[in-house]
Structure 1
């Protein structure tokens, strides 16, 4: 069968460095760090006392109080970016087939704040169960997709993807595949996460995954730097409207970019550590290239997973060099997690948006906070350290890898007729 072409026609972002698409991109260009001392709870007794929180956000500016109380924060974030992306797309819901418009949404953890608060309250009481009737609907990871579909009346495929930090790229790839197979015309897709809570920070601290650079939070996320000591936990959401090309053209939609292909693989190695030789990362990039028909030398920019962990950064760079060979030296590589922190299940969505904006603007966002070269890397590679670089970006690749060895990559291209 002939596969349909899939394009991006709307974007929405809510991040630690900007509460909408315009603010997010401006901060990426300028190399702004979103890391700061935690304000959501008293973190004094935690080994890590900082995070990349969403700032100056009042949910009641976006969602009625009665509705907001039925949602965990990760769903509130999802609703805000879905609204922005739908508005940006210009879709007229009265003129589309709602049965062919769906929602696929990713979250690695779901309603952690709700779970933490409800269990804490129960544990501090006399043992009598007094749970909020919305406890389960607020907590479970699929409810963001459910709320978005209800809000817009979208009756096509609707589900959640849960693949740890790769969850929202998983959602994008699934949405892309459903459209190109002709099973839907439109998807609201992306991901959201809100894990900056006591159990989130404490749990990742126990794994020794987080940076503990409490004396200088703004420079704590240091992908590829010799002195990197772990990732910085972030929160937020990103939404994309994916649309079948002819459907988009028929309504005169603006087109940000075209999705060419997606890759999927598993490390089959360890529950939290990446494959030391980057085998899963290598396989997922090869799969994305093969799926899209793109040659390695056609790729201009890779937004890497690049979390700022010693093992993760190393294995990904090994994989890039194996897949791209000599062309690796012609690539721009950057980790926008150096600015946003690690948004876990929302990371892939906000980083795919960074790729799309790089294509649109001809600017590569930087990897900030680089101070000391790590001699174990080939530092002839262009990691786009500290300052954005101008470049005509025709093809961009976004990588996301998650605990459990889940790997997803997505390839995006400047739209051409």
Structure 2
């Protein structure tokens, strides 16, 4: 028997496909990757690379920062969506923001273009607290507001934090946002050097989670937002529970015995009051790397007893780093509304439980796993509304 959980009643998204959840859903439905070829005009002679960057957009009043525009754009869409579904903000609305690398473009400009000199007002825009505080001010929200960071698992960490706040009565509602617009040439180059980023081939050729021939992941950007509450009648989904753990093993590699990963899956199901046979889909971290795919395959076959089917959208959106699990959760939640599972098309021989493209949804729970670099394990359990 599952627990009652917390409602997710508003969704907003900015991705490589464009601004808004409609752009995200239509892009995923196309089965084609969001990435396009980019040339490094600062370093002539470099080969172009495939990147799923967020395109220009947003409100002029939000300033020139791509990061700030995307954060506030996704949050506004989620809040407007929730209000249209009947949500009315409570007295204490909190804000949780998941971020790993904030304002990368602007910090880069600060050092390389501005030589470390800016007006104080412009310097303050670099602080991770500034866009969060501006959003709170825009809506007169007075609950707690903070940033959380757990590498690629930051989105799940934010969702779990939001649910903890709501479960304890610390707040009445939570706006959760995850933002990562960090694809500067330097960051891309170092993920390639780590042997996990693949930018020299089309994304679906290089990134093949749970399939033969996968080389790693393409790089993506995203900002994703949700309104979570216990007081809504117009929700997309319910977050039933979740868990996090840490391998305490290595700066990049997963502990090969998978003890902590397995415990995290078990604890998340227990927190949700769910049994393995109730899980119909594993929305995987699925970066297409050998270590992560092997770890999640083991969880699919042992903890979930090969009763669930698995999918990953990273071949389509790219790996959105600190916003990865959040954009992947948004895809699953939009799928609940459409009665579809937004899986990426298969391109090679793969695991027999791997879905092939958009698939009619069947009854059951969705487990969202995210394994952040450095040993950050996270699992969240969702049910359709």
Same fold (TM over 0.5): yes
Counterpart of 1:187?
174
C-alpha RMSD over aligned residues: 2.5
Counterpart of 2:211?
225
Counterpart of 1:414?
384
Cα deviation digits, residues 193-236 of structure 1 (max 9, x gap) = 00111221122123222114x24345332212222112111001
Counterpart of 1:299?
279
Q: In the superposition, relative to structure 1, how do residues 340 and 27 fare at CA in structure 2: closer, same or farther (>3 Å)?
A: same
**How many angstroms apart in 1 are the aligned matches of 2:331 and 2:45?**
35
The question of 1:23 aligning with 2:1 is answered: no
The farther-off stretch of 164-173 and 272-281 is 272-281
**How many angstroms apart in 2 are the aligned matches of 1:392 and 1:369?**
20
Gaps of at least 5 residues in structure 1 are 374-378
Cα deviation, residue 5, structure 1: 4.2
Contact 2:50–2:201, Cα closer than 8 Å, also in 1: no
TM-score (norm 1): 0.85
Counterpart of 1:403?
373
**How many angstroms apart in 1 are the aligned matches of 2:8 and 2:122?**
35
Contact 1:16–1:53, Cα closer than 8 Å, also in 2: yes
Contact 1:6–1:243, Cα closer than 8 Å, also in 2: yes
Contact 1:306–1:312, Cα closer than 8 Å, also in 2: yes
Counterpart of 1:50?
50
Task: Report how many aligned residue pairs link the two structures.
Answer: 383
Higher strand share: 2
**How many angstroms apart in 1 are the aligned matches of 2:346 and 2:197?**
16
Contact 2:96–2:177, Cα closer than 8 Å, also in 1: yes
Gaps of at least 5 residues in structure 2 are none
**How many angstroms apart in 2 are the aligned matches of 1:222 and 1:105?**
30
Secondary structure of the 2:261 match is helix
The question of 1:80 aligning with 2:50 is answered: no
Cα deviation digits, residues 63-113 of structure 1 (max 9, x gap) = 41xx413xx422221100101011101179996444x10100101111111
Cα deviation, residue 396, structure 1: 0.9
Contact 2:279–2:304, Cα closer than 8 Å, also in 1: no
The question of 1:237 aligning with 2:223 is answered: yes
**How many angstroms apart in 2 are the aligned matches of 1:225 and 1:294?**
29
Contact 2:13–2:21, Cα closer than 8 Å, also in 1: yes
The farther-off stretch of 156-165 and 349-358 is 349-358
Secondary structure of the 1:413 match is strand
Q: In the superposition, relative to structure 1, how do residues 47 and 302 fare at CA in structure 2: closer, same or farther (>3 Å)?
A: farther
Q: In the superposition, relative to structure 1, how do residues 95 and 208 fare at CA in structure 2: closer, same or farther (>3 Å)?
A: closer
**How many angstroms apart in 1 are the aligned matches of 2:281 and 2:289?**
21
**How many angstroms apart in 2 are the aligned matches of 1:169 and 1:13?**
16
- Listed as ranges, the matches of 1:304-315 within 5 Å are 304-315=284-295
Secondary structure of the 1:323 match is coil
Cα deviation, residue 261, structure 1: 0.3
**How many angstroms apart in 2 are the aligned matches of 1:42 and 1:383?**
41
Cα deviation, residue 54, structure 1: 1.9
Counterpart of 2:120?
133
The question of 1:13 aligning with 2:26 is answered: no
